[in-house]
């Protein structure tokens, strides 16, 4: 999500190896103060992703000739563990483009964030730690 932008912004989230039809189109909202908010969110299952998913986010303000991008690699599946911990976690990946800039500045700090189901990861790590205590 990017907030307080002017003029009209664009936001694109793409994942290499995933058809564009599976990635969402952004929602642009014109606020009462004349500034724009933009949100794009995509949720995919790990099995729908390539082995190393390259996620690209691009925020643009075409009329201001402004673009900022971020690329990250997401590795689907469970973290590598010892053979005694064989818990299979299924989690969704959600990509949000985030812009924490102040309203009206036309851009600023931009990051593309990936969040997986954090509770499952924490539970998985607790299991791994428990099994490692017995080694």
CB atoms within 10 A of CB 53: 21
Domain hosting 42: range is 2-74
Q: What whole-number distance in Å separates Cα of residue 99 and Cα of residue 106?
A: 10
Does residue 116 contact residue 77 with C-beta atoms inside 8 Å?
no
Residue 13 domain-assigned? yes
Q: How many domains is the chain built from?
A: 1
Say what the pLDDT of residue 108 is.
41
Say what the pLDDT of residue 62 is.
92
Residue 116 domain-assigned? no
Contacts of 115 (CB under 8 A, 6+ apart): 93, 94, 96
Q: What whole-number distance in Å separates Cα of residue 74 and Cα of residue 55?
A: 7
Say what the pLDDT of residue 123 is.
53
Say what the pLDDT of residue 81 is.
45
124 phi and psi, to 5 degrees? -65, -45
Tokens of 54: 């390259």
Residue 7 domain-assigned? yes
Helix (H) or strand (E) holding 110: strand 110-116
Q: The dihedral of CA 34, 62, 55, 21: what is its sign?
A: positive
Say what the pLDDT of residue 53 is.
87
Q: What whole-number distance in Å separates Cα of residue 13 and Cα of residue 18?
A: 11
Residue 37 domain-assigned? yes
* pLDDT beneath 70: ranges in the chain: 21-23, 78-135
Q: What tens digit of pLDDT does each residue of 23-45 get? A: 678 999 999 999 999 998 888 88
Say what the pLDDT of residue 15 is.
87
Residue 56 domain-assigned? yes
């Amino acid at each position: 999500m990017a907030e307080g932008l002017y003029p009209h912004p664009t936001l694109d989230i793409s994942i290499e190896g995933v058809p564009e039809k599976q990635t969402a189109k952004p929602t642009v909202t014109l606020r009462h103060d004349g500034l724009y908010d933009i949100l794009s969110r995509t949720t995919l299952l790990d099995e729908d992703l390539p082995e190393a998913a390259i996620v690209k986010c691009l925020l643009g303000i075409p009329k201001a000739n402004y673009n900022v991008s971020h690329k990250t690699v997401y590795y689907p599946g469970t973290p590598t563990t010892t053979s005694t911990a064989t818990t299979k976690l299924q989690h969704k990946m959600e990509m949000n483009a985030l812009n924490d800039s102040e309203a009206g500045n036309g851009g600023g700090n931009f990051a593309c964030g990936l969040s997986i189901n954090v509770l499952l990861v924490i539970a998985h790590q607790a299991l791994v730690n428990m099994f490692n205590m017995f080694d």
